[in-house]
Amino acid sequence: MALDITRLSIRHRGGAALFDPLTLHVAPGTIATVMGPSGIGKSTLLDAIGGHLAPDFALAGEVWLNGKDICRLRPEDRHIGLIFQDALLFPHLSVADNLAFGLPQYLRGRTARRAAVAAALEKAGLAGLGDRDPATLSGGQKARAALMRTLLSEPAALLLDEPFSKLDDDLRTEIRRFTFDHIRARDIPALLVTHDRGDAESAGGTVVGLGQGNPA
């Protein structure tokens, strides 16, 4: 299923629009990149699509996913996965339990759930590390675990907010390839916010620049 954004704009209540209306088609298995100056509203755009827009912002336009306009749906009904700059793993859960947290409710039975987590750990190069405390993982291992947890929830689309910006150069290239390969393999649309040209080139999809004051 594609992600279709139609004339989306966000306004601070009582203020001007953050950026010119955005229209963007993101095909399944492709990664579109959103760039633009600091403060233009890139993270706020992802908040709006994910359903986490702060109440002091107002939204206009449409976001279509799975054949419906998701703008009025609760965040949990949108089935959108989020990946942030910090690999957000729960510190009080083991690595395996972190991944299990992403599993869909319909997957019943301890054996099936364990098998799904083991397969994901293996894919992420984390086999044997399931019992670890997340704090003992390296930066790259944390990033791969966080991605796997999100993918296990079977998102219909993925939003990535500067996901590689805290990784050093070698790791950045590796984790970027790992992340993009998995998105393509899942055949879901993804939207990437980044300041890095290399990220945008590696994503290989449409690149849009958010701007202000251009005629629509």
Ligand X SMILES: Nc1ncnc2c1ncn2[C@@H]1O[C@H](COP(=O)(O)OP(=O)(O)OP(=O)(O)O)[C@@H](O)[C@H]1O
Residues that bind ligand X (CB under 6 A): 12, 18, 36, 38-44, 54, 56
Q: Chain centroid to CA 38: how far?
A: 19
What is the nearest approach in angstroms of ligand X to the Cβ of residue 162? 7
Closer residue to ligand X, CB minimum distance, 125 or 209: 209
CB of 82 to ligand X, least distance (A): 14
Q: Closer to ligand X by CB, 46 or 117: give it.
A: 46
CA–CA dist 69, 184 (Å, integer): 23
Give the start-end residues of each E strand in the chain: 3-12, 22-26, 31-35, 57-65, 68-69, 80-83, 157-161, 190-193, 204-209
Nearer to ligand X, 56 or 170 (CB): 56
- Min dist CB 106 to ligand X, Å, is 34
Residue with smaller CB distance to ligand X, 6 or 165: 165
In the complex, the smallest distance separating the C-beta of residue 174 from ligand X, rounded to whole angstroms, is 24
Q: Give the nearest distance from C-beta 15 to ligand X in angstroms.
A: 9
Between the CA atoms of 151, 73, 77 and 209, what dihedral angle is there, to the nearest 10 degrees? 0
- What region does 51 belong to: left with phi over 0, alpha with psi -120 to 50, or beta? left
Bridge-based pairing state of the strands 190-193 and 31-35: parallel
Residue 117 or 167: the one with the smaller Cβ distance to ligand X is 167
